[in-house]
Chain A
Amino acid sequence: SDVLTQPPSVSVAPGQTARITCGGNNIGGTVVHWYQQKPGQAPVLVVYDNSDRPSGIPERFSGSKSGNTATLTVRRVEAGDEADYYCQVWDSRLNWVFGGGTKLIVL
Protein backbone atom coordinates (compact mmCIF):
# COMPACT_ATOMS: atom_id res chain seq x y z
CA SER A 1 0.00 0.00 0.00
CA ASP A 2 1.28 3.47 -0.82
CA VAL A 3 -0.47 4.88 2.25
CA LEU A 4 0.70 2.43 4.92
CA THR A 5 4.21 1.01 4.89
CA GLN A 6 5.12 -2.26 6.61
CA PRO A 7 8.38 -4.22 6.45
CA PRO A 8 7.98 -7.33 4.26
CA SER A 9 9.23 -9.61 7.00
CA VAL A 10 10.35 -9.72 10.61
CA SER A 11 12.29 -12.65 12.03
CA VAL A 12 12.48 -13.56 15.69
CA ALA A 13 13.53 -16.54 17.78
CA PRO A 14 10.95 -18.29 19.98
CA GLY A 15 10.52 -16.57 23.33
CA GLN A 16 11.79 -13.26 22.06
CA THR A 17 9.86 -10.08 21.22
CA ALA A 18 8.76 -9.17 17.70
CA ARG A 19 7.93 -5.63 16.70
CA ILE A 20 6.10 -4.92 13.46
CA THR A 21 5.84 -1.32 12.33
CA CYS A 22 3.29 0.48 10.19
CA GLY A 23 4.13 3.93 8.89
CA GLY A 24 2.01 6.51 7.14
CA ASN A 25 1.44 10.24 6.94
CA ASN A 26 -2.13 9.94 8.18
CA ILE A 27 -1.53 7.60 11.10
CA GLY A 28 -1.09 10.39 13.61
CA GLY A 29 -4.66 11.54 13.15
CA THR A 30 -6.48 8.22 13.14
CA VAL A 31 -6.63 4.88 14.90
CA VAL A 32 -4.82 1.77 13.75
CA HIS A 33 -6.01 -1.81 13.75
CA TRP A 34 -3.96 -5.00 13.33
CA TYR A 35 -4.89 -8.36 11.84
CA GLN A 36 -3.21 -11.74 11.90
CA GLN A 37 -3.62 -14.07 8.93
CA LYS A 38 -2.31 -17.61 8.92
CA PRO A 39 -1.92 -19.52 5.63
CA GLY A 40 -5.24 -20.57 4.15
CA GLN A 41 -7.24 -18.80 6.85
CA ALA A 42 -9.24 -15.60 7.13
CA PRO A 43 -7.71 -12.62 8.95
CA VAL A 44 -8.27 -12.26 12.68
CA LEU A 45 -8.37 -8.94 14.52
CA VAL A 46 -5.64 -8.89 17.18
CA VAL A 47 -5.48 -5.18 18.11
CA TYR A 48 -7.98 -2.41 17.49
CA ASP A 49 -8.04 1.32 18.13
CA ASN A 50 -4.24 1.44 18.42
CA SER A 51 -3.88 -0.63 21.58
CA ASP A 52 -7.06 -2.50 22.54
CA ARG A 53 -7.27 -6.27 22.39
CA PRO A 54 -10.39 -8.21 21.43
CA SER A 55 -11.49 -10.88 23.84
CA GLY A 56 -9.60 -14.10 23.32
CA ILE A 57 -6.42 -12.48 22.05
CA PRO A 58 -3.44 -13.22 24.32
CA GLU A 59 -1.94 -10.38 26.32
CA ARG A 60 1.32 -11.12 24.50
CA PHE A 61 -0.11 -9.06 21.63
CA SER A 62 -0.06 -5.29 22.14
CA GLY A 63 -0.24 -2.18 20.02
CA SER A 64 1.12 1.33 20.29
CA LYS A 65 1.42 4.45 18.23
CA SER A 66 3.88 7.32 18.18
CA GLY A 67 3.65 10.10 15.66
CA ASN A 68 3.11 8.60 12.24
CA THR A 69 4.21 5.09 13.16
CA ALA A 70 2.17 2.32 14.77
CA THR A 71 3.76 -0.80 16.23
CA LEU A 72 2.41 -4.26 16.90
CA THR A 73 4.46 -5.99 19.59
CA VAL A 74 4.33 -9.73 20.13
CA ARG A 75 6.06 -10.84 23.32
CA ARG A 76 7.29 -14.34 24.11
CA VAL A 77 6.82 -15.30 20.49
CA GLU A 78 5.62 -18.85 19.82
CA ALA A 79 5.80 -20.96 16.69
CA GLY A 80 2.04 -20.55 16.32
CA ASP A 81 2.44 -16.79 15.93
CA GLU A 82 4.06 -17.26 12.53
CA ALA A 83 1.68 -15.49 10.16
CA ASP A 84 1.13 -12.41 8.05
CA TYR A 85 0.21 -9.28 9.96
CA TYR A 86 -1.62 -6.32 8.45
CA CYS A 87 -2.23 -2.85 9.80
CA GLN A 88 -5.35 -0.93 8.79
CA VAL A 89 -6.65 2.60 9.11
CA TRP A 90 -9.66 4.53 7.96
CA ASP A 91 -8.68 7.36 5.62
CA SER A 92 -11.18 10.03 4.61
CA ARG A 93 -9.91 9.99 1.03
CA LEU A 94 -9.14 6.31 0.49
CA ASN A 95 -11.66 4.83 2.92
CA TRP A 96 -10.42 1.64 4.60
CA VAL A 97 -6.75 1.02 3.86
CA PHE A 98 -4.51 -1.92 4.68
CA GLY A 99 -0.77 -1.98 4.87
CA GLY A 100 1.09 -4.31 2.56
CA GLY A 101 1.53 -6.93 5.27
CA THR A 102 4.47 -8.29 7.25
CA LYS A 103 5.40 -11.94 7.43
CA LEU A 104 6.45 -12.85 10.97
CA ILE A 105 9.02 -15.61 10.75
CA VAL A 106 9.72 -17.63 13.89
CA LEU A 107 13.24 -18.97 13.60
Chain B
Amino acid sequence: EVQLVESGGGLVQPGGSLRLSCAASGFTFSTYWMHWVRQVPGKGLVWVSRINNDGSSTKYADSVKGRFTIARDNAKNTLSLQMNSLTTEDTAVYYCARAGLSTHAFDMWGQGTMVTVSS
Protein backbone atom coordinates (compact mmCIF):
# COMPACT_ATOMS: atom_id res chain seq x y z
CA GLU B 1 0.00 0.00 0.00
CA VAL B 2 1.22 3.46 -0.88
CA GLN B 3 1.38 5.46 2.33
CA LEU B 4 3.18 7.89 4.60
CA VAL B 5 3.09 7.32 8.36
CA GLU B 6 4.30 9.96 10.79
CA SER B 7 5.47 9.34 14.34
CA GLY B 8 7.32 11.09 17.13
CA GLY B 9 4.81 13.71 18.19
CA GLY B 10 4.01 14.40 21.81
CA LEU B 11 4.19 16.88 24.66
CA VAL B 12 7.39 18.87 25.12
CA GLN B 13 8.31 21.84 27.27
CA PRO B 14 9.20 25.22 25.75
CA GLY B 15 12.84 25.22 24.76
CA GLY B 16 12.84 21.48 24.29
CA SER B 17 13.45 19.30 21.27
CA LEU B 18 11.52 16.66 19.38
CA ARG B 19 12.24 14.52 16.34
CA LEU B 20 9.47 13.58 13.96
CA SER B 21 9.70 10.70 11.52
CA CYS B 22 7.75 9.81 8.41
CA ALA B 23 7.93 6.26 7.06
CA ALA B 24 7.20 5.90 3.37
CA SER B 25 6.06 2.72 1.67
CA GLY B 26 4.61 1.53 -1.61
CA PHE B 27 6.56 3.87 -3.87
CA THR B 28 10.15 4.72 -4.84
CA PHE B 29 10.87 7.15 -2.01
CA SER B 30 14.22 8.29 -3.39
CA THR B 31 12.54 9.72 -6.47
CA TYR B 32 10.38 12.28 -4.70
CA TRP B 33 10.88 15.62 -3.00
CA MET B 34 9.31 15.62 0.44
CA HIS B 35 7.79 18.30 2.66
CA TRP B 36 6.59 18.98 6.17
CA VAL B 37 3.40 21.00 6.62
CA ARG B 38 1.85 21.95 9.95
CA GLN B 39 -1.61 22.94 11.09
CA VAL B 40 -2.68 24.45 14.36
CA PRO B 41 -5.97 22.73 15.29
CA GLY B 42 -8.83 24.72 13.82
CA LYS B 43 -6.51 26.82 11.67
CA GLY B 44 -5.03 26.62 8.17
CA LEU B 45 -2.16 24.75 6.57
CA VAL B 46 1.35 26.18 6.82
CA TRP B 47 4.35 24.91 4.89
CA VAL B 48 7.36 24.20 7.10
CA SER B 49 10.19 22.64 5.12
CA ARG B 50 11.18 20.65 2.07
CA ILE B 51 14.01 18.40 0.96
CA ASN B 52 14.90 17.32 -2.55
CA ASN B 53 15.02 13.69 -3.60
CA ASP B 54 18.66 12.98 -2.71
CA GLY B 55 18.81 15.19 0.37
CA SER B 56 21.30 17.66 -1.07
CA SER B 57 18.97 20.66 -0.93
CA THR B 58 16.67 21.89 1.84
CA LYS B 59 14.43 24.91 2.43
CA TYR B 60 12.65 26.23 5.49
CA ALA B 61 9.92 28.67 6.37
CA ASP B 62 11.31 31.75 8.09
CA SER B 63 9.45 30.81 11.27
CA VAL B 64 11.51 27.64 11.76
CA LYS B 65 14.79 28.49 10.05
CA GLY B 66 17.75 27.79 12.31
CA ARG B 67 15.67 25.67 14.70
CA PHE B 68 14.33 22.83 12.54
CA THR B 69 16.31 20.43 10.36
CA ILE B 70 14.79 18.25 7.67
CA ALA B 71 16.61 15.10 6.58
CA ARG B 72 15.98 11.85 4.80
CA ASP B 73 17.37 8.34 4.66
CA ASN B 74 16.57 6.89 1.26
CA ALA B 75 17.95 3.49 2.25
CA LYS B 76 15.33 3.32 5.03
CA ASN B 77 12.57 5.22 3.18
CA THR B 78 12.36 7.67 6.04
CA LEU B 79 11.91 11.43 6.31
CA SER B 80 12.65 13.27 9.54
CA LEU B 81 12.23 16.67 11.13
CA GLN B 82 14.46 17.58 14.05
CA MET B 83 12.83 20.39 16.01
CA ASN B 84 14.88 22.35 18.53
CA SER B 85 14.20 25.41 20.70
CA LEU B 86 10.49 24.74 20.51
CA THR B 87 8.00 27.42 21.50
CA THR B 88 4.27 27.35 22.10
CA GLU B 89 3.89 28.74 18.57
CA ASP B 90 5.13 25.39 17.23
CA THR B 91 2.14 23.53 18.66
CA ALA B 92 0.39 21.92 15.71
CA VAL B 93 -0.34 18.77 13.79
CA TYR B 94 2.65 18.02 11.57
CA TYR B 95 2.09 16.30 8.24
CA CYS B 96 4.67 14.87 5.90
CA ALA B 97 3.72 15.22 2.25
CA ARG B 98 5.05 14.01 -1.07
CA ALA B 99 5.45 16.38 -4.01
CA GLY B 100 4.42 15.08 -7.40
CA LEU B 101 7.12 14.26 -9.90
CA SER B 102 6.09 16.88 -12.46
CA THR B 103 4.32 19.39 -10.24
CA HIS B 104 4.83 21.29 -6.99
CA ALA B 105 1.53 19.87 -5.73
CA PHE B 106 1.51 17.62 -2.68
CA ASP B 107 -0.06 14.44 -4.02
CA MET B 108 0.19 12.29 -0.90
CA TRP B 109 -0.05 13.14 2.79
CA GLY B 110 0.50 11.25 6.01
CA GLN B 111 -2.13 11.16 8.74
CA GLY B 112 -0.27 13.71 10.85
CA THR B 113 1.32 13.70 14.30
CA MET B 114 0.45 16.16 17.06
CA VAL B 115 3.14 18.24 18.70
CA THR B 116 2.21 20.13 21.85
CA VAL B 117 4.64 22.60 23.35
CA SER B 118 3.56 23.48 26.85
CA SER B 119 4.92 23.81 30.35
Contact = CB atoms under 8 A, between A and B. Distances in A.
Interface of A: 1, 31, 33, 35, 37, 41-45, 48-49, 54, 86, 88, 90, 95-101
B105 A95 contact: no
Interface in B26-82: 35, 37, 44-47, 50, 59, 61
Given A43-B95, A96-B35, A33 B104 contact: yes
Interface of B: 35, 37, 44-47, 50, 59, 61, 95, 97, 100, 103-107, 109-112
A41 B112 CA distance: 8
Nearest to B96: A42
Nearest to B93: A42
Contact of A100 (B44, B47, B107, B112): B44
A31 B103 contact: yes
